[in-house]
Chain A
Amino acid sequence: MLTPLAVLVGKALRFVLRLRGGGSAVPGRIALMIQPKFLQKTLGRMSSGIYFVSGSNGKSTTTAMLVRVLREHGLRVLSNPAGGNLPQGLASALLADVNLLGKLQHDVAILEVDEAYGKLIAAKVAPNGLLLTNIQLDQLNRFHSPEEVFDYLDDLATLTTDLIMVNGSDRNTERLALKHSQRLSAHGVYLSQKALKSAAHGILAAPDFSNDDSNLKLAATLETAKGTKATISLGAKPFAITLPAPGLHYAVDAALAIAFAKQILVEKFSETMAAKAISSLPAVYGRGEIIETRGQKLEIIMMKNLPSLQANLDALDVSPKRVWISVDEGTPDPSWIYDIDLGKLSKVDVISGTKTYQWATRLAYEGIKFGKLIESESDALEYFLGLPGDEKTAIVNYEQMMWLRKKLGLLDLEGGNG
């Protein structure tokens, strides 16, 4: 009886709060207070299992790709929007889909989980499988070191019951999967040398100082990556896919998603359908996304952290003509911008956000010319869109990306249209 009550109260709260605008974790928190086993009762009924996607970068894109491939094969897939990384956020998201008895009409759950918080969800509903994209330098103010991220993901793998798949060319995730290979079916997606060399700075994995050179069972090889084209081999003849945005990092995400989908679907898996699914996927929410506004094309390049910005800069064919950099307190310590190879930027038109002068100092030391320094991002946006030209590039941190999308009238939730 607790589950229907939790659903009823949670749904009512969710309805009221959404009338006031925006999402909230409150309905989920209340549902969990009424029925502490809410996640188990709802997610535990998935006929094809529950799978988690985590890692430093590429979680959202890989999750979106995996969801798309599974749906292409006819599975009813449940996934979580951004903000659903904590148990209460996930419970809130589930309230949208469960019926009054707490039942979901889905076959499989694909959940993007935060590196640190994933184990909180896993402690409630153990995932059948875990897909790890990478361990990279990310949010040092929060994680302090990639070694700490390794430990978090190690805890998550410990709570996983059957399967782990990782980017095998990332020595840290490979080592993590190897650690669990006695208990879990452990697989690696590897990059060919040609693919590795296709981006100026490779896959930007965090350093690893272990001496283990063992390899995982090969699940897939990313053979080539160039622009939005990639070829992947699952053991037989390589097949081609088209990526939602150019870049080696998106090709790796796609290879991981396809190889993991094959593990879930087993004999039902079709390379043709997987390739079709990936190739029809639009750019994922602020990751290489191009927004049309005022007759201009505004490409959003995310600078979530060093690897994400470097990967996105590496993917540029030519220097962007018009560039706006905007970074706020979502990036409390931007010291890492000194590690970025800024060779792809010939000039920057405007810098904004609370970190305006830290970025300007960086560019000045590099000898890269910049135009206006406007701390107010709203004023900077107006100035930038008023500049001549119809193809422009915004380099923004995650928080500025969210602000910018909202400002330009894009009100969908991240992952909400997965």
Chain B
Amino acid sequence: MAELAILHLYPNTLKLNGEVGNLIALKVRAANFGLKVRILNVELSEPLPTKRPHIVFLGSGTLGATKVAAEDLASKGDLLHRWVTDGTKVLAVGSGFDLISQGLQLTDGDFIQGLGLTNTTHSITPNYLVGEVELTKGIAGFINSNRAISRGHAGFEIATVQASDEKALIGYLDGYSDGKVMASNVQGPLLPMNPQLADLLISWVFPKLEKSSSLRTLDSLASKARKAISIRVRS
């Protein structure tokens, strides 16, 4: 049985709003694809494993958490870059997205250096955009973000917000996806609510997997959850 090794970076530090649900989705779905899933947790000050994982996951945290994670990440950046070059995929949500970006501009003038795995540069704005969202590509969830994102090249966003109870979110370009890195500010959490993205990420690692029919119930429930959001934000 093939193994899917997932490294969860800073599971207790970057833990704000159910981000672990993304791992749960990957774990359950990968197991249904016939993969044996192994999850390794690495916290602040702990070394990275010697064996390269298939996927690295970073969740979201408070600004304080993001700062301490960024400090720790500085010493891990070179190895993480080598891993990505060698085929490791990265999933990051919320401030985890900030950490793998070019960097995060703070309101006090400080700049948190990111890993540079995306072409996006992030900055904190005075206002949060908060609301349920329906995006293109059948994606739905919730956005609660005060980040402005500038993009080096267009076309790498995951999807665009089409409808929301927060009108200012309509037209919002979410996330980043380039076949190596998947990043998003959509919660729900992202992957349980949008299993097509979980399957896409797994397919980046194992391209020829057959989808199991045992996932139909899960997919149907998630689809109905997204449909409920769609109805709400369009009403």
CB distance A339 to B144 under 8 Å?
no
Give chain A interface residues in 339-365, CB to chain B under 8 Å: 339, 354-358, 360-362, 364-365
- Residue-by-residue, is B10-39 near A (CB-CB < 8 Å gives 1, otherwise 0)? 001101111111001100100000000000
B224 at the A interface (CB under 8 A): yes
CB distance A333 to B144 under 8 Å?
yes
Question: Within the assembled complex, what's the spacing in Å between the Cα atoms of A336 and B67?
Answer: 22
Interface residues on B, range: 35 or more
A214 at the B interface (CB under 8 A): no
CB distance A361 to B221 under 8 Å?
yes
Of B25, B68, B217, B218, the residue contacting A209 (CB under 8 A) is B68
Give chain A interface residues in 312-355, CB to chain B under 8 Å: 329, 332-333, 335-339, 354-355
In the complex, which residues of chain B have a beta carbon less than 8 angstroms from the beta carbon of A145?
A: 16, 62-63
CB distance B221 to A357 under 8 Å?
yes
B64 at the A interface (CB under 8 A): yes
Question: Within the assembled complex, what's the spacing in Å between the Cα atoms of A337 and B224?
Answer: 17
Of A147, A210, A356, the residue contacting B228 (CB under 8 A) is A356
Q: Looking at the complex, which of A136-144, A252-260, A290-298 is the stretch in contact with chain B?
A: A136-144
Of A141, A339, A356, A362, the residue contacting B130 (CB under 8 A) is A141
- Residue-by-residue, is B130-159 near A (CB-CB < 8 Å gives 1, otherwise 0)? 111000000001101010000000000000
A418 at the B interface (CB under 8 A): no
- Residue-by-residue, is A207-232 near B (CB-CB < 8 Å gives 1, otherwise 0)? 11110000000000000000000000
CB distance B232 to A354 under 8 Å?
yes
Of A332, A339, A355, A364, the residue contacting B15 (CB under 8 A) is A339
Question: Within the assembled complex, what's the spacing in Å between the Cα atoms of A361 and B229?
Answer: 14
In the complex, which residues of chain A have a beta carbon less than 8 angstroms from the beta carbon of B222?
A: 357, 361
Of B65, B144, B232, the residue contacting A141 (CB under 8 A) is B144
Q: Looking at the complex, which of B107-115, B186-194, B202-210 is the stretch in contact with chain A?
A: B186-194
CB distance A335 to B228 under 8 Å?
no
Give chain B interface residues in 114-132, CB to chain A under 8 Å: 128, 130-132
CB distance B65 to A365 under 8 Å?
no
Q: A145-B63, A333-B187 are in contact. Are A361 and B130 (CB under 8 A)?
A: no
CB of A353 to closest CB in B, whole Å: 10
Give chain A interface residues in 180-215, CB to chain B under 8 Å: 207-210
B225 at the A interface (CB under 8 A): yes
CB of B74 to closest CB in A, whole Å: 16
CB distance B221 to A360 under 8 Å?
yes
In the complex, which residues of chain B have a beta carbon less than 8 angstroms from the beta carbon of A207?
A: 12-13, 15, 61-62, 64-65
CB distance B192 to A144 under 8 Å?
no
Interface residues on A, range: 20 to 34
CB distance B17 to A361 under 8 Å?
no
CB of A400 to closest CB in B, whole Å: 16
CB of A271 to closest CB in B, whole Å: 38
CB distance A336 to B18 under 8 Å?
yes
Of A208, A332, A338, the residue contacting B132 (CB under 8 A) is A332
Question: Within the assembled complex, what's the spacing in Å between the Cα atoms of A210 and B146?
Answer: 23
State the total of A-B contacts with C-beta under 8 angstroms: 102
CB distance A358 to B64 under 8 Å?
no
In the complex, which residues of chain B have a beta carbon less than 8 angstroms from the beta carbon of A360?
A: 221, 224-225
Question: Within the assembled complex, what's the spacing in Å between the Cα atoms of A338 and B16?
Answer: 11
Question: Within the assembled complex, what's the spacing in Å between the Cα atoms of A338 and B227?
Answer: 20
CB distance A338 to B18 under 8 Å?
yes
Of B20, B131, B144, B218, the residue contacting A144 (CB under 8 A) is B144
Question: Within the assembled complex, what's the spacing in Å between the Cα atoms of A145 and B142?
Answer: 15
Question: Within the assembled complex, what's the spacing in Å between the Cα atoms of A365 and B189?
Answer: 12
Q: Find the A residue at minimum CB distance from B130.
A: A141
Give chain A interface residues in 132-173, CB to chain B under 8 Å: 137, 140-141, 144-147
In the complex, which residues of chain A have a beta carbon less than 8 angstroms from the beta carbon of B128?
A: 144
CB of B19 to closest CB in A, whole Å: 8
In the complex, which residues of chain A have a beta carbon less than 8 angstroms from the beta carbon of B18?
A: 335-339
In the complex, which residues of chain B have a beta carbon less than 8 angstroms from the beta carbon of A337?
A: 18
CB of B98 to closest CB in A, whole Å: 13
In the complex, which residues of chain A have a beta carbon less than 8 angstroms from the beta carbon of B24?
A: 338, 365-366
CB of A173 to closest CB in B, whole Å: 15
CB distance A357 to B228 under 8 Å?
yes
Question: Within the assembled complex, what's the spacing in Å between the Cα atoms of A335 and B229?
Answer: 13
CB distance B132 to A364 under 8 Å?
no
In the complex, which residues of chain B have a beta carbon less than 8 angstroms from the beta carbon of A357?
A: 221-222, 224-225, 227-228
In the complex, which residues of chain A have a beta carbon less than 8 angstroms from the beta carbon of B16?
A: 137, 140, 145
CB distance B15 to A338 under 8 Å?
no
CB distance A361 to B15 under 8 Å?
no
Of A147, A333, A361, the residue contacting B62 (CB under 8 A) is A147
In the complex, which residues of chain B have a beta carbon less than 8 angstroms from the beta carbon of A144?
A: 128, 130, 144, 146
Of A147, A332, A335, the residue contacting B189 (CB under 8 A) is A335
In the complex, which residues of chain A have a beta carbon less than 8 angstroms from the beta carbon of B192?
A: 338, 361-362, 365
Of B25, B132, B224, the residue contacting A365 (CB under 8 A) is B25
Q: A209-B68, A333-B187 are in contact. Are A364 and B21 (CB under 8 A)?
A: no
CB distance B62 to A140 under 8 Å?
no
In the complex, which residues of chain B have a beta carbon less than 8 angstroms from the beta carbon of A335?
A: 17-18, 21, 141-142, 187-189
From A141, A335, A358, residue with most partner B Cβ within 10 Å: A335
Q: Find the A residue at minimum CB distance from B145.
A: A144
- Residue-by-residue, is B45-64 near A (CB-CB < 8 Å gives 1, otherwise 0)? 00000000000000001111
Question: CB within 8 Å of B: which residues of A?
Answer: 137, 140-141, 144-147, 207-210, 329, 332-333, 335-339, 354-358, 360-362, 364-366
Starting from the known contacts A147-B62, A364-B218, 12 additional A-B residue pairs (CB-CB under 8 Å) come to A140-B17, A145-B62, A207-B12, A207-B15, A209-B62, A338-B21, A357-B222, A357-B227, A357-B228, A362-B192, A364-B217, A365-B218
Q: List 9 A-B contacts (CB under 8 A).
A: A141-B130, A147-B62, A209-B65, A338-B21, A339-B17, A355-B228, A357-B227, A360-B224, A365-B218
